[in-house]
Amino acid sequence: MRTHDRLMTVRRGMLAALLGLLAPVASVALAAGGNAAAALSKVGGCVACHGADGIGKAPQYPNLQGQKAAYLEKQLKAFRSGERKDSNMNAMAKPLSDEDIANLATYFETVN
């Protein structure tokens, strides 16, 4: 197998793995009446720190898995408004719509 072919095989495998991790977002977004594609793009911003499964990747990143959606919505809205201060989370939450926040909160409440 040529080097180019091996690289393409690895890339396809990595893409399939990423889509497999994020696939539950689509069903959550649809169940919540949201846009699955939009939800996928929003969760992608969360997984670097909080993980696709909602388990924080380091001690400073809280676990979101299993948190109540209402709690997560309240916290994200507080970060968005600046009521709750964290430079990273304020920047991440600022562009989120109420629908984005609802989809993210539902996702992390139900992800396993």
Number of domains in the chain: 1
pLDDT at 55 over 70: yes
- Residue 11's pLDDT band, with cuts at 50, 70 and 90, is low
Predicted model pTM:
0.68
Q: How many whole angstroms separate alpha carbon 2 and alpha carbon 21?
A: 29
Predicted local distance difference test score (pLDDT) of residue 56: 93
- The CATH number that applies at residue 93 is 1.10.760.10
Predicted local distance difference test score (pLDDT) of residue 103: 87
- 65-81 tens-digit pLDDT: 999 999 999 999 999 99
- Residue 4's pLDDT band, with cuts at 50, 70 and 90, is low
The range of the structural domain enclosing residue 63 comes to 3-110
Whole-Å CA distances, 5 to 14, 18, 66: 14, 20, 41
